[in-house]
Structure 1
Amino acid sequence: MPQRAAVKETFKSMSPSRFFYEYKELAGFSNPARALYQTVRELVENALDATDVHGIKPDIVVVIRRFGEARDKYTVAVLDNGIGIDPKHVPYAFAQVLYSSKYKLRQSRGRFGLGVKMAVLYAQMTTGEPVEVYTSPLGSKRIYYFKLKIDIEKNKPIVLGKGSWSKTNDWHGTLVKITIRGDWQRAGWRIKEYIKRTAIVTPYARIVLITPDGSIAIYPRVIEKVPPGPKEAKPHPHGVDIEMLKYLIKNSKAKTLREFLIESFQGVGRKTADKFLKEAGFDPNLDPHKLNDKMLEKLAAKLKEYKGFRSPSASALSPLGEEVIEAGLKAIFSPEFVTVVTRKPKAYEGHPFIVEVGIAYGGEIPPSSEPILLRYANKIPLLYDEKSDVAWKVVDPNNFDWKQYLVTFPAPLVVLTHICSTKIPYKGVGKESIADVSEIEHELKNAVREAARKLRAYILEKKREQETRRRLITFLKYMPEITRSLAVIAGDGKVSEEQLKEKLVECIVRKLGVPKEHVVKMISSYEVKIEE
């Protein structure tokens, strides 16, 4: 039987923009509804990173309008009062995939250098419209305008138009307009929820949302203090691998291995470096540029194993803080009880992280068959894939014994979780759910338990107050009768009914352990009701 002729394989490379054009679903642009939501999200996150990270109280306006006569095309415009963008970087920041100002070891909402470029790519694919950018950097006297597309094969910006003009006011910031195919009917509620949840953790911001159906949602600024921004940090020795070592050595001018460790890693001084190198079996005076692959492999392994390094610095992190979480939950939910727990910094794989948990209970929160979970990562609300997130794994009533904390469902309970880190372990580039990293899960459990204990103390106190009130009302019901009967029994006229009432009040105060003024106030209230 004759053999079939072999088919010759052909090979070629693919640019990053071509890759994400082909696999847009990886970045959350899987359908028109998801794409509209993702576009709003990416632009709002950029606006917040351009403001609060730099100590500016955000003023953000989000406008979504139908484009022309088409019912499935929308222009998303987001205006901020941030630091603006240097005009020489604008084409690359919006039209070159994997180009970003966020490739630093510090906390930021964005990380991959992908989000807004994916929205631009999606616009090119579905409407053919370019992105329009207006920006005025902080301190600049001019406004700069760009109309851009992406050269998908070369992963380079195509500048279709640009210009600049003098400012007539003191505005600084950025306005971005992107026109895409979207589905407002399916995405609308999620976009509104995203803006609402963003407002919860940015009560120092003023956010306005104008929708295609004509509704306007305004979230006013409720506190003036902006949390301190994160600082850039050096990598921690426990988080390195062979390739990172190669990169750090290539960019280092250190002449010795000791100098290299001190200048390249956080928390490493001369004493720590010498102690580590001695234990690892390296010459402190060895030129790091002469390390071969085998030596680099050994160095990376020893750095990960060594227990003498300090914990990763939390200076690169910016937690929300108790004031922000409490103010946000109160402003949106009007609960009767709020508590916030911020855990101490911990680390996973050499990356520092902080877990925060807020619990709101009662008030105007509607009872639900399970906790209303608000998930955040680096101040980003996460709305999709809730049940696959590590936070749900922790608060799920099937895993967490809420009854132990006197919470029986349906209950008016909101649980807010926030994880901030220099590297959030997302399950995908869509940034919607966090992986089950054991260190993060452990901290989440401890934070939820701590907050739940405070809730239990509140519920217990509330039950005691209700029982005391019930007993007090019972006493008050019979007080007039008892007072008159005692006055009759005394019969000598030496003790008035008012004096007897005073004595009875003192007895009630001792018996129930409540303040006297509280009892007197209730007596007055009760007597008024009887007269009515």
Structure 2
Amino acid sequence: MYRYATNNNNNKGEIVMPIDSFSQFKEHSVAEFFKKNKQMLGFSGKVRSLTTIVHEFTSNSLDAGEEVGILPEIFIQLEEEGDDKYKIAVQDNCGGIPEKYLGKALGQLLAGTKFHRYVQQRGQQGIGASGCIMYSQITTGKPAWVRSGYKNVIIECNIGINVSKNTPVITNLTKTMGEFSGLRIEAHLGDVRYENSGYGVYEYLKQTVLANPHAQIEFIAPDAQRYMFPRAVDVVPKPPIETKPHILGITANDLVEFSRRIKESRISAFLAEEFSRVSSNKVKELQELLPDIDFSQPPTSLNWDTAEKLIKAVHTLKWIAPATDILRPIGKENVARALQNILNPQFIAQSDRSPQIFHGGIPYQVEVAIAYGFTNGAHNRIMRFANRVPLLFDAGACGLTEAVKTIEWKRYRIDDFENMPIAVFVNFVSVHVPYTSAGKQAIALEEEIIAEVRNAIMEAARPVKGYLNGIVHLQERSSRRKVFLRYVAQLAGDMSELADMPKKKEAIKKGLVDLVEHRVGLIEEAEDAEAETAKEANAANGAVANGQENGNGKKDFEEKGE
């Protein structure tokens, strides 16, 4: 294939020479791609870039702590080195990285323990920490310094990235024996800025502790101000359990791809072994629906047409819901304790839904809490999390924000959502979070997810409405008493004067007060009885409403046990 160039000095525009357009054909590494498109990793804007780096290193420490069963203690320090230049130091006590994997874990993009697994973790792609070290390198020209303590072996070295090859560059490596167990990373950063704002490092760490109450984080800001975020609970979350994709969400393309990389000798065994909730009885049901497919054939014989038939048949059957023990939500008690610790609200209402699935057979769960009347400031009224990680940026493009914004808040006595003292906490839990980009700050606008989050928010909003109704009711009762009691003193004086009994004024006043209290009490008893009747009716209606909501965007599952 050729294109033609013309000589600009030639007024007639004559063809000068053919040019082979494929002469510029080149291959590029993934590191080169992300170096050129670093905004896709979250490095866009100076404040955001710094917060992203703290986020990536902190998330890795939290994941490591949970996998080895350690209560994480994380230390973070920022030192200003010039205009928009900082040095960052991050250290944890979470077991470290062995020498064999140290370079690839921190100096090679898309290498790690996360991308290929169906397991709930904060990181997913194996890009984060390596991306931060690459950012340090391209903005300051300096490698990162790393200290890793793993099984009494302490490794210290400098780590950089060969961007053209996407390979780690390790220099000045030393090994000693010692008791240090964990990881320390020090890196120099350019084109970043520290701000104490709703998008800055401090806010990120505050929300991180809120969603990870088992973690303790110490932070030293560039002005040497020390912040300690103590842990609220002393129990390590159960380690995540790796799972298999749920058959109900698998596509024909997924099925063909899976069939090419497994060892089972028959299609029947392949379905039962590689996908969640596929029992031998379910395989038999599929065989009955598809008599023209030979389930004893090897999986590699699956073609696109056969895969499509299998998937269509799968969707005609009822399946057991995804396993619930593979997901690790924060838990109602921990969320309430963390919100109380951070926001100190007057009232907290919560909702945690049963696990569901979205496309790809991926299980997920939603946790929601609504805090009202907090005294401590909250920069973000909508507090978004994914697998316990705060999402501070790209709120407008996030499915969690969309769900919150579409709630008719006035139905729940929240007349001015933006200005009332109310915060909505949403944590999306899954073995795979459908982020909109590698920057991992917004969840895709998946209809099933938005519907599920909406249902959870409405479930939590009902108790908030009851609480606000109670406040209004108490205010009305107080006003009613004040109206009656306002004239008691004057009336007692007038009555004692008319009766020519001035010494009886206080006795008359007391009698009038008792009469008001008695009459108002009767009114309030009648109101309470009426409210209780209405509450029972609303509870019955709410059960019907919940049934309707639960059918919105959810799959039809059968009871466990076949």
For this structure pair, what is the TM-score category when the shorter chain's length is used for normalisation? 0.7 to 0.9
1:356–1:417 CA contact under 8 A, matched in 2:
yes
The question of 1:66 aligning with 2:80 is answered yes
**TM-aligned CA distance change 1:366 to 1:128, over 3 Å:** closer
Question: Within 5 Å, which residues of 2 pair with 1:458-469?
Answer: 458-469=467-478
The question of 1:156 aligning with 2:156 is answered no
More off after superposition, 333-342 vs 51-60: 51-60
Output one character per residue of 1:93-113: Cα deviation in whole Å (capped at 9) or x when no partner.
001110011131011111011
Matching residue of 1:180: 189
The question of 1:342 aligning with 2:349 is answered no
1:318–1:420 CA contact under 8 A, matched in 2:
yes
SS in 2 for 1:416: strand
Matching residue of 2:103: 91
The CA deviation at 1:232 is 0.4
Given candidates 54, 71, 75, the residue that maps to 1:57 is 71
The CA deviation at 1:306 is 4.5
- Partner Cα distance (2:381, 2:304) in 1: 52
**TM-aligned CA distance change 1:228 to 1:184, over 3 Å:** same
Given candidates 407, 414, 421, the residue that maps to 2:414 is 407
The question of 1:252 aligning with 2:262 is answered yes
**TM-aligned CA distance change 1:271 to 1:367, over 3 Å:** closer
2:260–2:299 CA contact under 8 A, matched in 1:
no
Q: Which amino acid aligns with 1:50?
A: A
The CA deviation at 1:300 is 6.1
Question: Within 5 Å, which residues of 2 pair with 1:436-455?
Answer: 436-455=445-464
Output one character per residue of 1:122-152: Cα deviation in whole Å (capped at 9) or x when no partner.
1111112112222223xx2232223211122
**TM-aligned CA distance change 1:298 to 1:31, over 3 Å:** same
Output one character per residue of 1:270-297: Cα deviation in whole Å (capped at 9) or x when no partner.
11112113323422322223x0534564
The CA deviation at 1:502 is 9.9
Matching residue of 1:119: 132
- Partner Cα distance (2:43, 2:237) in 1: 32
- Partner Cα distance (2:340, 2:173) in 1: 45
- Partner Cα distance (1:33, 1:310) in 2: 46
Matching residue of 2:121: 108
Question: Within 5 Å, which residues of 2 pair with 1:51-450?
Answer: 51-67=65-81, 70-103=82-115, 104-137=117-150, 140-168=151-179, 171-185=180-194, 190-241=200-251, 244-246=254-256, 248-281=258-291, 282-289=293-300, 291-294=301-304, 297-298=307-308, 301-302=311-312, 305-349=315-359, 350-364=361-375, 372-396=381-405, 399-409=406-416, 410-450=419-459
**TM-aligned CA distance change 1:511 to 1:394, over 3 Å:** same
- Partner Cα distance (1:209, 1:338) in 2: 28
Using the size of structure 1 for normalisation, the TM-score is: 0.85
Q: Which amino acid aligns with 2:144?
A: V
**TM-aligned CA distance change 1:404 to 1:32, over 3 Å:** closer
2:136–2:188 CA contact under 8 A, matched in 1:
yes
**TM-aligned CA distance change 1:241 to 1:119, over 3 Å:** same
SS in 2 for 1:340: strand
Q: Which amino acid aligns with 2:62?
A: L
**TM-aligned CA distance change 1:296 to 1:121, over 3 Å:** farther
**TM-aligned CA distance change 1:292 to 1:363, over 3 Å:** closer
* Superposition CA RMSD, Å: 3.1
**TM-aligned CA distance change 1:473 to 1:25, over 3 Å:** same
The CA deviation at 1:391 is 2.1
SS in 1 for 2:365: strand
The CA deviation at 1:116 is 1.0
Gaps of 5+ in 1: 515-532
**TM-aligned CA distance change 1:455 to 1:292, over 3 Å:** closer
Gaps of 5+ in 2: 1-12, 527-562
1:148–1:161 CA contact under 8 A, matched in 2:
no
- Partner Cα distance (1:146, 1:443) in 2: 47
1:274–1:284 CA contact under 8 A, matched in 2:
no
The CA deviation at 1:92 is 0.7
2:253–2:304 CA contact under 8 A, matched in 1:
no
2:413–2:465 CA contact under 8 A, matched in 1:
yes
The CA deviation at 1:346 is 1.2
Q: Which amino acid aligns with 2:232?
A: V
- Partner Cα distance (1:219, 1:503) in 2: 53
1:405–1:452 CA contact under 8 A, matched in 2:
yes
More off after superposition, 345-354 vs 220-229: 220-229
Q: Which amino acid aligns with 1:336?
A: Q
**TM-aligned CA distance change 1:485 to 1:432, over 3 Å:** same
**TM-aligned CA distance change 1:365 to 1:472, over 3 Å:** farther
The CA deviation at 1:419 is 1.0
The CA deviation at 1:158 is 1.4
- Partner Cα distance (2:510, 2:421) in 1: 46
SS in 2 for 1:159: strand
Output one character per residue of 1:486-517: Cα deviation in whole Å (capped at 9) or x when no partner.
9998x9x9xx8899589645555444349xxx
Q: Which amino acid aligns with 1:102?
A: K
- Partner Cα distance (1:55, 1:454) in 2: 36
- Partner Cα distance (1:298, 1:394) in 2: 33
Matching residue of 2:466: 457
Output one character per residue of 1:58-113: Cα deviation in whole Å (capped at 9) or x when no partner.
2111111124xx33321211111213222211111001110011131011111011
SS in 2 for 1:184: coil
Percent identical pairs in the alignment equals: 28
- Partner Cα distance (2:378, 2:482) in 1: 29
The CA deviation at 1:373 is 0.9
**TM-aligned CA distance change 1:229 to 1:465, over 3 Å:** farther
Matching residue of 2:54: 40
The CA deviation at 1:3 is 4.3
1:39–1:76 CA contact under 8 A, matched in 2:
no
The CA deviation at 1:242 is 5.5
- Partner Cα distance (2:378, 2:90) in 1: 35
**TM-aligned CA distance change 1:222 to 1:367, over 3 Å:** closer
1:61–1:78 CA contact under 8 A, matched in 2:
yes
2:108–2:161 CA contact under 8 A, matched in 1:
yes
More off after superposition, 105-114 vs 241-250: 241-250
- Partner Cα distance (2:479, 2:353) in 1: 39
Q: Which amino acid aligns with 2:158?
A: K
The CA deviation at 1:247 is 5.0
The CA deviation at 1:439 is 0.2
Output one character per residue of 1:240-275: Cα deviation in whole Å (capped at 9) or x when no partner.
345644554444332221111111111111111121
Output one character per residue of 1:10-44: Cα deviation in whole Å (capped at 9) or x when no partner.
32221122221222221112344332221111001
Matching residue of 1:530: none
**TM-aligned CA distance change 1:390 to 1:250, over 3 Å:** closer
Matching residue of 1:523: none
Q: Which amino acid aligns with 1:74?
A: Y
SS in 2 for 1:451: helix
